[in-house]
Amino acid sequence: MKKIILAFLLCLSPLLAKTFTFTAIPDQDETMLKERFSKLATYLSGELNVDVKFIPVKSYAASISAFRNNQVQLAWFGGLSGVRARQLVPNSYAIVQGESDPQFHTYLIANTKTGIENSMKFPKDIKGKTFTFGSKGSTSGRLMPEFYIRKHMNNTPKNVFNKVGFSGNHSKTISLVQSGAYEVGAVNFKVWDRELKNGNIDTSKVKVIWKTPAYPDYQFTIRGDVNKEFGIGFAKKVQAALLKLDDKEILDAMPRKRLIKAKSSDFDPILKVGKQIGLID
């Protein structure tokens, strides 16, 4: 009997020793991301009774690659990066999103020297200005603003603007437009609102000039093989742990008030737009 128990424990030990890893798209300053998600990793470790580790990445493409290669089993993706990742990893699916993520927005912002004012109508006087997106793989910093630029200007960004750039993240976009390095830019509305609240934006130099209609964005996506790797029902345990998260410090850092259920089909509008403007095959 002792031999049977020992054999069972030996078989079980690799599973128990396994580390559950996750990452997040680098849409903000890396230091802030590490601080935010390391605390979430600690929370999940306690809830799931496994070692949980957050692994930072340098780019949106790297987050997708890490997920595809099973270097991470869970990822905080934007709408576009989530769609791309799920296309590459069969049976992966969205499990959780922020309460505000089904109704997300992009702000177009402008240096005040342009003289462009905030308007409910799309600001066509951005034509001929210098413009920066965020990351090339960003939903709020590239996909959706490009969609609306094409729609309202009947042309591609490179033909609308004098110069087009990609800042890499939303915080940098605000900085570039505020400094005048670019006259206009596209930014995640949550990042703008948080930076404004924290006193990091000089509204005498940069302002919001337009807000997009709502679209679905961020979500946690999990690999479909985690139950095989970590035990039957593990994916549901991860979802349940995220849904019950009520640590205000962690949620405020995201920033989200709470997390709600998500499913992959919620992001079909992103898939459609991505195909329409050629960012998804």
Same domain for 127 and 190? yes
Q: The domain containing residue 204 runs over which residues? A: 105-211
Same domain for 202 and 112? yes
The model's pLDDT over 139-170, given as tens digits with 9 standing for 90+, comes to 999 999 999 999 999 999 999 999 999 999 99
**Which of 174, 189, 211 is the last residue before a domain boundary?**
211
Mean pLDDT for 131-136 is: 96
**Do the beta carbons of residue 55 and residue 71 sit within 8 Å?**
yes
Q: Which helix (H) or strand (E) holds 262?
A: none
Least-confidence region, from 48-57, 84-93, 198-207, 251-260: 251-260
Same domain for 111 and 187? yes
Same domain for 237 and 191? no
Name the domain count of the chain.
2
The model's pLDDT over 161-195, given as tens digits with 9 standing for 90+, comes to 999 999 999 999 999 999 999 999 999 999 999 99
Same domain for 111 and 94? no
- What is this structure's pTM? 0.87
Structural domain includes residue 245: yes
Same domain for 206 and 115? yes
In the chain, the percentage of residues whose pLDDT exceeds 70 is 94
Same domain for 207 and 113? yes
Give the model's pLDDT for residue 17: 54
Q: Which helix (H) or strand (E) holds 250?
A: helix 248-253
Selection from 267, 247, 263 nearest residue 95 by Cα:
263
Would you place residue 6 in the very low, low, confident or very high pLDDT band (cuts 50, 70, 90)?
A: very low
Selection from 213, 188, 212, 201 nearest residue 111 by Cα:
201
Structural domain includes residue 281: no
Same domain for 72 and 119? no
Same domain for 54 and 122? no
Would you place residue 42 in the very low, low, confident or very high pLDDT band (cuts 50, 70, 90)?
A: very high
Structural domain includes residue 136: yes
